[in-house]
Amino acid sequence: MDKAQVFLYVIIFLFSLFSYMFLSKRKGESSIRAKLPPGSMGWPYIGETLQLYSRDPNIFFANKQRRYGEIFKTHMLGCPCVMLASPEAVRFVLVTQAHLFKPTYPMSKENLIGKSALFFHQGDYHIHLRKLVQGSLSLEALRHQVDDIQDIAISTLDSWASGGHVINTFHEMKKFSFEIGILTIFGHLEAYYKEEMKKNYTIVDKGYNSFPTELPGTPYKKALRARRRLSKILNEIICEKKEKNSLKKNLLGFFLNYKDDEKGGEVLTEDQIADNIIGILFAAQDTTASVMTWMLKYLHDDQKLLEAVKAEQKAIYTNNCHLTWAQIRNMPITYKVILESLRMASVISFTFREAVADVEYKGYLIPKGWKVMPLFRNMHHNQEFFIEPQEFNPSRFEDPPKPYTFMPFGSGVHSCPGNELAKLEMVIMIHHLVTKFRWEVVGSQSGIQYSPFPVPLHGLPARFFEEPTS
Ligand code: HEM
């Protein structure tokens, strides 16, 4: 065990101790006479945190589920938790009784993204913000972005193939999804602002998954500073757009044009806008990039399937290179590959909520203040819902999955408003990749690394080559 690990365990221990002391005060206060779900709370104070972090988290969850069933309790990272792994239980928490479970994130992460980002909220503020975000990411809005996304995909692929060097696919996909995020938020943004956003956002991104200490020189402290610079840059962009009166139908335009009529025409503050822009960039980047990286791996590992995708794409390929909206909406094989990649990779393995009151579910008590975790990945890999779940088999999506068994984009009031954009990026990337390029994965090691989302080991090092088009 190295020093960093010892330090981490000490911090987890102290955090667990404080939250245990706080939560144990609440014992016996419940108004509901129901028993807690089955499960083990692990050791005093630290719960089962070490068990979770000392092995593959998916095995930890799967073993628990096998032993206790669809709902079980545990204690980790200082919090008592109830985990849910059945369609019914997940629907209860995310959809039908969503008002009883609020989103919950560590304070250190909220401070970095910005407290006003929509995914930290419930109620009216969340509803208003979500409408704006959904509007800018609707199919109608995305139709107008297809050409720009294609230009970005083509120049990205050209850059990978030029020089023939090995690239880290995940890192490159991150750059691609960041560019698309910027496009969706601002439309065309001046190169200077784009560079400044990229530079500072990268520092925030690094700090997000680091230990949250504000000691000078630490990645977290640097990230907080970069976050403040991002706010300044965003304010400059907003001033300029307002001056030039160039408020288009992109997300920034939606934010700036918003007026709350019920509150006398109240507008969004600059901080609210900045927090939501950073929030969208954050929600959009690693998620999309890791699924695309997995998709390239799955296709590379199944050459027969790759040939089928190529045949579908080549049939619609034209020399002017640009896909039409109608073509994009009609790619059955490619679309199933995307769905199966989302299922297999399950990059958002679970999410967190916190019970805002004592809640009873199927005779079990979920006490107020406990964390509640719907386990998406466990459901996506449950053979009851997906036959031979470890096999990559896009044809399983010829029939729609049973309700609430397939939730790569979550469900209910906080489900992903960017899901159509994410799929559009993937379709466009795949089309231009398989019609004009080929790729070779470098090295024979297979495995997963957590960054923090699961990605192929070392980000899937690969070489890309341009192919003559026929
Ligand atoms: C493959 C890519 C993506 C995956 C797998 C994904 C997955 C998810 C999931 C599971 C949630 C729900 C989390 C919860 O219930 O706690 C979510 C929420 C969200 N996603 Fe995505 N996402 C992806 C791409 C995107 C993109 C491209 C955008 C924006 C451009 C985006 C913006 C958001 C936002 C803003 C929320 C919070 C919604 C709310 O709280 O109301 N996501 N995403």
Q: Walk me through the domains of the chain, giving residue ranges and CATH numbers.
A: 1-114+348-380 (3.30.43.20), 138-177+284-346+386-470 (1.10.630.10)
Query: What is the number of the ligand 1 atom nearest to the C-alpha of 347?
Result: 5
Is 347 near ligand 1, meaning CB less than 6 Å away? yes
Is 287 near ligand 1, meaning CB less than 6 Å away? yes
Query: What is the number of the ligand 1 atom nearest to the C-alpha of 421?
Result: 27
Q: How far is the CA of 120 from the centre of ligand 1 (A)?
A: 13
Q: How far is the CA of 445 from the centre of ligand 1 (A)?
A: 30
φ, ψ of residue 81 to 5 degrees: the values are -130, 150
Q: What is the per-residue pLDDT for 303?
A: 97
Tens-digit pLDDT profile for residues 171-189: 999 999 999 999 999 998 9
Is 338 near ligand 1, meaning CB less than 6 Å away? no
Name the residue among 11, 48, 57 with its Cα closest to residue 452. 57
Q: What is the per-residue pLDDT for 7?
A: 52
CA 348 distance to own-chain centroid: 6
Here the tokens at position 267 are 């507008």
**Whether the bond into 106 is cis, omega within 30 of 0:** no
Residue of the nearest CA to atom 36 in ligand 1? Answer: 416
Contact status, residue 81 vs residue 371, Cβ threshold 8 Å: yes
Q: How far is the CA of 180 from the centre of ligand 1 (A)?
A: 15
Q: How far is the CA of 221 from the centre of ligand 1 (A)?
A: 26
Find residue 81's DSSP bridge partners: 74, 371
Name the residue among 315, 282, 309, 281 with its Cα closest to residue 295. 309
Is 348 near ligand 1, meaning CB less than 6 Å away? yes
Query: What is the number of the ligand 1 atom nearest to the C-alpha of 353?
Result: 16
Here the tokens at position 418 are 């960017």
Is 213 near ligand 1, meaning CB less than 6 Å away? no
Q: How far is the CA of 336 from the centre of ligand 1 (A)?
A: 20
Distance CA 414, CA 122 (A): 9
Is 254 near ligand 1, meaning CB less than 6 Å away? no
Q: What is the per-residue pLDDT for 50?
A: 66
Is 289 near ligand 1, meaning CB less than 6 Å away? no
Tens-digit pLDDT profile for residues 412-452: 999 999 999 999 999 999 999 999 999 999 987 788 988 78
Q: What is the per-residue pLDDT for 166?
A: 97
Query: What is the number of the ligand 1 atom nearest to the C-alpha of 118?
Result: 40
Query: Does 416 belong to an annotated binding site?
Result: yes
Confidence (pTM): 0.91
* 243 burial level (CB within 10 Å; 0-12, 13-18, 19+): exposed
Q: What is the per-residue pLDDT for 270?
A: 93
Is 130 near ligand 1, meaning CB less than 6 Å away? yes
Q: pLDDT tens for the chain, 470 residues: list them.
A: 455 555 555 555 555 444 444 444 444 456 677 899 999 887 766 777 666 666 677 788 888 888 998 899 998 877 899 999 999 999 999 999 999 999 999 899 999 999 999 999 999 999 999 999 999 999 999 999 999 999 999 999 999 999 889 999 999 999 999 999 999 999 989 999 999 999 999 999 999 988 889 999 999 999 999 999 999 999 999 998 887 766 677 999 999 999 988 888 899 999 999 999 999 999 999 999 999 999 999 999 999 999 999 999 999 987 667 899 999 999 999 999 999 999 999 999 999 999 999 999 999 999 999 999 999 999 999 999 999 999 999 999 999 999 999 999 999 999 999 999 999 999 999 999 999 999 999 987 788 988 788 999 999 999 999 988 66
Is 141 near ligand 1, meaning CB less than 6 Å away? no
Q: What is the per-residue pLDDT for 22?
A: 47
Contact status, residue 148 vs residue 309, Cβ threshold 8 Å: no
Residue of the nearest CA to atom 39 in ligand 1? Answer: 414
Q: How far is the CA of 282 from the centre of ligand 1 (A)?
A: 9
Distance CA 378, CA 390 (A): 12
* Longest CA pairwise span in the chain (Å): 73
Contact status, residue 237 vs residue 90, Cβ threshold 8 Å: no
What SS3 state is found at 81? strand
Q: What is the per-residue pLDDT for 388?
A: 97
Q: What is the per-residue pLDDT for 31?
A: 65
φ, ψ of residue 331 to 5 degrees: the values are -135, 70
Is 180 near ligand 1, meaning CB less than 6 Å away? no
Q: How far is the CA of 49 from the centre of ligand 1 (A)?
A: 26
Reported for 100-104, long-range contacts at CB under 8 A and 24+ positions apart, including other chains, are: 100/355, 100/356, 100/357, 100/359, 101/353, 101/354, 101/355, 101/356, 101/359, 101/372, 102/353, 102/354, 102/356, 103/352, 103/353, 103/354, 103/414, 104/352, 104/353, 104/354, 104/371
Is 415 near ligand 1, meaning CB less than 6 Å away? yes
Name the residue among 428, 424, 378 with its Cα closest to residue 405. 378
Query: What is the number of the ligand 1 atom nearest to the C-alpha of 119?
Result: 40
Q: How far is the CA of 412 from the centre of ligand 1 (A)?
A: 12
